[in-house]
Structure 1
Amino acid sequence: MADPVNGNARRAKSVDIYAPQWRNFLFVAPYLVIFAAFLVFPLFWGIWLSFHKADTFSSGPFVGFGNYVRLFRDGIFLQSIWNTFYFVFLTVPALALIGLFLALSLNRQTRSAAVLRTLFFSSSVLSVTIVTLIWRIVYIPDFGLLAMIYGFFGAKAPAFLSNPDLAMIGIAIATVWWCIGLPMMLFLSALQQIPQDIYEAAALDNANRWQTLRSITLPSIKRTFVLVIIIQIVLQFQLFGQPWLMTRGGPNNLTKPIVLYIYDTAFRRWDLGLGAAASEILFLLILVAAMAQYLVTRRKADA
């Protein structure tokens, strides 16, 4: 006759859902391997390279903070930092505010709103090569679309890509046109999560549109606004394709961002140590800017 005590113990052991199951690690192992190979290892390898005088063929001798000292003595690198911050200042607020305006305007269940949402989002699926080609045609002096529009009014179009004062603004306009789809869709998603009962209650209290926007809509999407700002800061700090294809970083390095400086240093001058140091500076700038924006926005939202 079987022992009922031992049988119950075996059954309890077989259904113990809290027991460690190491074989479950196999389900996440592929992701962890890819994550370590393409993110964790390059991060630490870049830090290691930044402390060495490295080129394409060898890591070279250890130089400590020598590469960082060289960076901050390089006027072109300092100019690239200013260019990057200037570009972020031009694009991130514009993307957030224009995206919010479009979302508020197109948050309707109509066919025309659906068509317009599709049109505004369609630019986001284009590659940077196509986007820059379109805007180079727009900016062509005397023959471009902008020159034709100015010509109707008897005026001369500004030379966006050759004027030192306007080149970065021209790149920023093209970038906002290209990237506006993602902020718009994020805001639309947040707006559609707001219960309609709240708006109906506000209408019964005779609240106008401005009062509804200020007291209901904006407080309800404040977390999405923070998310959009942080995403755009991270994305726009990585500016590369637009200035490379539109201006080659000119005129006079006034549109050369940090990523383009890293590309020139590491892959055209083959100074991998200096390029790695510049990439670590870029990483710290993105981290500090995103965290500062998050803390400031969160403090205002909680106030």
Structure 2
Amino acid sequence: MASTRAPAPALPRRWRTRYRDAFAGYAFLAPFLAVYALFLLYPFGLGLWMSLHDWEIVGDYREYIGWLNYEELWDDPYFWEALKRTLQFAAMTVPAATVLGFVLALALNRPGRIHGVLRAIFFASSIFSVTVVTLVWTMVLNPNQGLVANGLRAVGLEPIAFLTHQEWAMPALVVTSLWWTAGFPMALFLAGLQQIPPEVYEAARLDNASRWAVLWRITLPALKRTILLVLVLETVMHLQVFGQPLLMTRGGPSNSTRPLVQLIYETGFRDWRSGYASSMSLVLFVLMFFVALLQLRLSRREN
């Protein structure tokens, strides 16, 4: 007599719904995960693997050397000088960009067509390419017929060759970067200001609070997270500075404006030492990673 097996019990409805929702969620995530793995995870893993090799960008010479690239990096004065210039540039640019963006946001956080046009004008500079920005500012800073040179002559002063002067080249790059990037923090601060309830300001006016009191007691505390976000994003962005010094000063004069990314580019594509350049890139990544971790830690502490 043939035995008959009892049919498997059907899953409860709530479990079927949960599995269906999970499958739908992963299906929607799949395109992003594929792009993320292809363009971020794979290049990062390849860069880490290359940093452990004597890897030439041309040819098939790839010899595993372990941590020798990092040991060479530790004793490389050009690397430390480039890292110093990068940190110097970020230290000059990040606070100035944050303050400038905040001041612009305070000044333009008003209704009206004029303020809307001004917001668009200030933000428009951030959408230009680095080639356009550096071309404009190279002409502005030209010591012969540039706008700044003509202004100095008009007041009886001698023009300065900013981009070839060792003391003025870095400040010139900072001013160029501020003009280019100030619109982005301004937009973030505008978004933060518009989240503050107007009733709070109305209550402060009824209490005859001064503008400074409103700024220090209401506006700045309400923008703590926005300020932290702007500082982290600006730091990460300016630690990767490359186009401005490459196109305006070529890293000169006397390597006084050569940042770390330019040194990575020259090592990898001029000297064909891709493994050594990858080790520099990993150091820069770790630096930016710790900046992001600091932002996350401070945000959790604030919560």
TM-score after normalising by structure 1: 0.91
Q: Which residue of 2 aligns with 1:200?
A: 202
Indicate if the aligned counterparts of 1:51 and 1:63 stay in contact, CA closer than 8 A. Answer: yes
Q: Choose from 85, 98, 104 the match for 1:96.
A: 98
1:18 alignment partner AA = R
How far has the Cα of 1:31 moved from its partner? Answer: 1.2
Q: Which residue of 2 aligns with 1:75?
A: 77
Please give the alpha-carbon distance, in whole angstroms, between the structure 2 residues aligned to 1:246 and 1:144.
Answer: 14
Indicate if the aligned counterparts of 2:53 and 2:63 stay in contact, CA closer than 8 A. Answer: yes
Q: Choose from 98, 110, 120 the match for 1:108.
A: 110
- Secondary structure, aligned partner of 1:98: helix
Task: Flag the 1:59–1:195 CA change in 2: closer, same or farther, 3 A.
Answer: farther
Please give the alpha-carbon distance, in whole angstroms, between the structure 2 residues aligned to 1:166 and 1:191.
Answer: 36
How far has the Cα of 1:157 moved from its partner? Answer: 2.6
Indicate if the aligned counterparts of 2:225 and 2:299 stay in contact, CA closer than 8 A. Answer: no
5+ residue gaps, structure 1: 1-8
1:235 alignment partner AA = M
Q: Choose from 195, 217, 232 the match for 2:234.
A: 232
2:30 alignment partner AA = A
Q: Which residue of 1 aligns with 2:190?
A: 188
Q: Which residue of 2 aligns with 1:42?
A: 43
How far has the Cα of 1:14 moved from its partner? Answer: 8.2
Q: Which residue of 1 aligns with 2:124?
A: 122
Please give the alpha-carbon distance, in whole angstroms, between the structure 1 residues aligned to 2:192 and 2:140.
Answer: 34
What are the equivalent positions in structure 2 for 1:1-303 lying under 5 Å apart?
13=13, 16-19=16-19, 21-22=22-23, 24-56=25-57, 57-58=59-60, 60-292=62-294, 295=297
2:288 alignment partner AA = I
How far has the Cα of 1:19 moved from its partner? Answer: 2.8
Indicate if the aligned counterparts of 1:263 and 1:275 stay in contact, CA closer than 8 A. Answer: yes
Which one is further off, 155-164 or 37-46? 155-164
Task: Flag the 1:210–1:298 CA change in 2: closer, same or farther, 3 A.
Answer: farther
Task: Flag the 1:79–1:293 CA change in 2: closer, same or farther, 3 A.
Answer: farther
RMSD: 2.0
5+ residue gaps, structure 2: 1-8
Which one is further off, 47-56 or 16-25? 16-25
> What fraction of aligned residue pairs are identical, expressed as a percent?
42
How far has the Cα of 1:290 moved from its partner? Answer: 3.9
Please give the alpha-carbon distance, in whole angstroms, between the structure 2 residues aligned to 1:236 and 1:75.
Answer: 22
How far has the Cα of 1:11 moved from its partner? Answer: 10
Please give the alpha-carbon distance, in whole angstroms, between the structure 2 residues aligned to 1:96 and 1:274.
Answer: 34
1:236 alignment partner AA = H
Task: Flag the 1:220–1:27 CA change in 2: closer, same or farther, 3 A.
Answer: same
Task: Flag the 1:207–1:55 CA change in 2: closer, same or farther, 3 A.
Answer: same
Task: Flag the 1:25–1:289 CA change in 2: closer, same or farther, 3 A.
Answer: closer
Task: Flag the 1:297–1:84 CA change in 2: closer, same or farther, 3 A.
Answer: farther
Indicate if the aligned counterparts of 1:199 and 1:212 stay in contact, CA closer than 8 A. Answer: yes
Indicate if the aligned counterparts of 1:230 and 1:294 stay in contact, CA closer than 8 A. Answer: no
How far has the Cα of 1:288 moved from its partner? Answer: 2.3
2:39 alignment partner AA = F
Deviation string 1:112-139 (CA, Å, 9 cap, x unpaired) is 2112111111101110000000000011
Indicate if the aligned counterparts of 2:82 and 2:263 stay in contact, CA closer than 8 A. Answer: yes
Report how many aligned residue pairs link the two structures: 293
Please give the alpha-carbon distance, in whole angstroms, between the structure 2 residues aligned to 1:116 and 1:191.
Answer: 17
Indicate if the aligned counterparts of 2:54 and 2:61 stay in contact, CA closer than 8 A. Answer: yes
Please give the alpha-carbon distance, in whole angstroms, between the structure 2 residues aligned to 1:31 and 1:70.
Answer: 38
Indicate if the aligned counterparts of 1:71 and 1:278 stay in contact, CA closer than 8 A. Answer: yes
Please give the alpha-carbon distance, in whole angstroms, between the structure 1 residues aligned to 2:109 and 2:60.
Answer: 57
Indicate if the aligned counterparts of 1:161 and 1:167 stay in contact, CA closer than 8 A. Answer: yes
- Secondary structure, aligned partner of 1:270: coil
